[in-house]
Amino acid sequence: MAFRLFPSRAATGLPALLTGPARRPAFKVAPLIAAGTTCVVAAAQALFASPVAAAPELVDRHAVVLVNFKNHPLADAQKTHDLAVQNFFGAGDSLASYYAENSGHRMSVVPAKGDGVFGPFTIDLDDSAACETGKIAELARKAVSDVEYDRISVVFRTDFCGSWWGLGSQPGPVTWFHEGAVADKAAVYHEVGHNLGFAHQERELCPAGTLTDCTRDGYSSRTPMGAGGAKKGLSAPELLAHQWLTTQQTVTPTGSTTVRLTPLHTAGTSGVRAVDLPLNAHGDRIVIEYRIPDAATRDIDIAQGVNLYRVPEGRYDHAVMVSNAKRDDTSARGSFAAGSTPLTDTAAQLSISVERVSATGADVRIRLGADAKTDPGAALPAARPSGVRSRSASTAAPAPHTTEDPAAIGPVTVAPGPSAHGEALATTGAGPAAENAVSAGIIGCALIAVGGGTVFFLRRRSARGRH
């Protein structure tokens, strides 16, 4: 078999350390642009560097700022402070440990100063202005003007803007949380994921014979960014977006072959963790991974299976999971249903099938060129499923949705947030801008343009919400 290697992080010119002046977040994430633009793969350069053995490549000096509105202070400032220290920076299960483990310790989230949590500070706004997120962030920055940081998370309590639980700029340096959301690790991982450039990871249903002309089918359930909650690691495309897989862990076959995939989050650095293939001349790519539930890793409750993602125009942080089988809420079905036929793309002359799986790996058969046409398992094109069609491969980069389906964050285990009366934060009463932007549902999300990025909303759960 033949494989193609890819250029290192250093060759891309991306920064290795986040730096910047006080009060001015310096972190920016640029989408990774795929080098290949045709279906013919030539043996060539290297793209993913070996892991750095010493210091992390990425350091996020993080500041969590607690703020009180003039008329509406935090319900329990000390409890919120302690939860923020634990869930952002704790040595156990925290934002810091989550991204350290997913990145192979190439990313480090550290307190900007002291324990990383500041305040509470009273800002010159009533909570009726809680939807003015830009103004709130500006006042929070002024409150910590003597602190140098890369990202800032602002925490407050309000009876307004109850339609969202947390939000984050994508990519960008700011996240916002209702007071109770600080206890929700899934929300914390998810919102900071938006800061890193990760979009909501959707799932699409594709008729046989195409991996591009597909319809939306919910979320992938393979990452906190795809309704997976806090007990799943990042997906292979998300790891590739920041080059958190090494040269040895990623392969690109140049001809038909069988690839042995090691479970993505298995400890150690040996074994192939992802296949990364060019799909078409528009820069779309295909990434394949194998996941198993493993309590010793970040994939605690992942569904076992091989997953296939389409990467639009080389934007790994916007990857979409694809399948010929409709999503199954009870089994969190992956790309390949039991006994399913290969996933094929006739135009790309590509066929992918799963030969066998075990606790230690999966054998994935990849057929390219003329060999894909003779694949005995290929199915005839099926009738197109109903639903919202995905972006055609020939169109521009995907535009953000103005509304999203519920539950983009996935399951949460947080208790109701504190309030002055011991009740959950209000779920109604958001200002007109938020009402227009946020879709209905228990946890919905919406996007609004803010500065140079996009802000993602997550709706909060009520006290009687599912856990």
Residue 372 phi/psi, 5° resolution? -65, -30
Specify the pLDDT at position 325.
87
Q: How many CB atoms lie within 10 A of CB 13?
A: 7
Specify the pLDDT at position 230.
97
Please report how many Cα atoms fall inside a 13 Å half-sphere around the Cα of residue 151, on the Cβ side: 31
Q: How far apart are CA 207 and CA 214, in angstroms?
A: 7
Are 95 and 101 within 8 A, CB to CB?
no
- Looking at the predicted structure, is the pLDDT value of residue 416 above 70? no
Percent of residues, the chain, with pLDDT higher than 90: 60
For the stretch 333-370, pLDDT in tens is 789 876 678 999 999 999 999 999 999 999 999 999 98
- Looking at the predicted structure, is the pLDDT value of residue 464 above 60? no
Angle in degrees, CA 213, 216, 218, rounded to 5:
150
Q: Which domains, from first to last, does the chain contain?
A: 58-198+402-458 (3.40.390), 202-373 (no CATH)
Specify the pLDDT at position 162.
78
For residue 435, the surrounding DSSP H or E stretch is helix 432-437
The tokens describing 305, both together, are: 């299976």
Task: Give the mean pLDDT of the chain.
Answer: 76
- Looking at the predicted structure, is the pLDDT value of residue 171 above 60? yes
Beta strands, E only, 303-398? 305-311, 320-323, 343-345, 350-357, 362-368
Specify the pLDDT at position 70.
96
Residue 350 phi/psi, 5° resolution? -130, 135
- Looking at the predicted structure, is the pLDDT value of residue 383 above 80? no
- Looking at the predicted structure, is the pLDDT value of residue 462 above 60? no
Specify the pLDDT at position 296.
95
**Max avg pLDDT among 200-204, 415-419, 433-437:** 200-204
With bands split at pLDDT 50, 70 and 90, how would you rate the model's confidence at 410?
A: low
Specify the pLDDT at position 331.
65
With bands split at pLDDT 50, 70 and 90, how would you rate the model's confidence at 411?
A: low
- Looking at the predicted structure, is the pLDDT value of residue 461 above 70? no
Mean pLDDT for the stretch of residues 427-435: 25
Specify the pLDDT at position 370.
84
More confident: 299 or 1: 299
- Looking at the predicted structure, is the pLDDT value of residue 49 above 80? no
- Looking at the predicted structure, is the pLDDT value of residue 122 above 70? yes
Specify the pLDDT at position 116.
99
Tell which residue, 463, 459, 380, 454, has the closest CA to residue 199.
454
Q: How far apart are CA 153 and CA 167, in angstroms?
A: 10
For the stretch 15-31, pLDDT in tens is 333 333 333 344 433 33
Mean pLDDT for the stretch of residues 369-379: 61
- DSSP, collapsed to helix, strand or coil, labels residue 421 as coil
Placement of tokens 């790996």 in the chain: 361
What does the DSSP 8-state code read for residue 405? Answer: -
Q: How far apart are CA 244 and CA 342, in angstroms?
A: 28
More confident: 8 or 354: 354
With bands split at pLDDT 50, 70 and 90, how would you rate the model's confidence at 35?
A: very low
Range of weakest confidence among 74-78, 88-92, 106-110, 448-452: 448-452
Range of weakest confidence among 103-112, 125-134, 397-406, 452-461: 397-406
pTM of this structure: 0.75
Q: How far apart are CA 313 and CA 122, in angstroms?
A: 45
- Looking at the predicted structure, is the pLDDT value of residue 294 above 60? yes
With bands split at pLDDT 50, 70 and 90, how would you rate the model's confidence at 259?
A: very high
For residue 195, the surrounding DSSP H or E stretch is helix 185-195
Mean pLDDT for the stretch of residues 229-258: 96
- Looking at the predicted structure, is the pLDDT value of residue 400 above 70? no
For residue 97, the surrounding DSSP H or E stretch is helix 95-102
Are 53 and 47 within 8 A, CB to CB?
no
Are 286 and 279 within 8 A, CB to CB?
yes
For the stretch 274-293, pLDDT in tens is 999 999 999 999 999 999 99
Mean pLDDT for the stretch of residues 131-155: 97
Specify the pLDDT at position 65.
99
Specify the pLDDT at position 4.
42
- Looking at the predicted structure, is the pLDDT value of residue 48 above 80? no
Q: How far apart are CA 448 and CA 435, in angstroms?
A: 12
In this structure, which long-range contacts are made by residues 10-16, counting pairs with CB atoms below 8 Å and at least 24 apart in sequence? 10/49, 16/57, 16/58
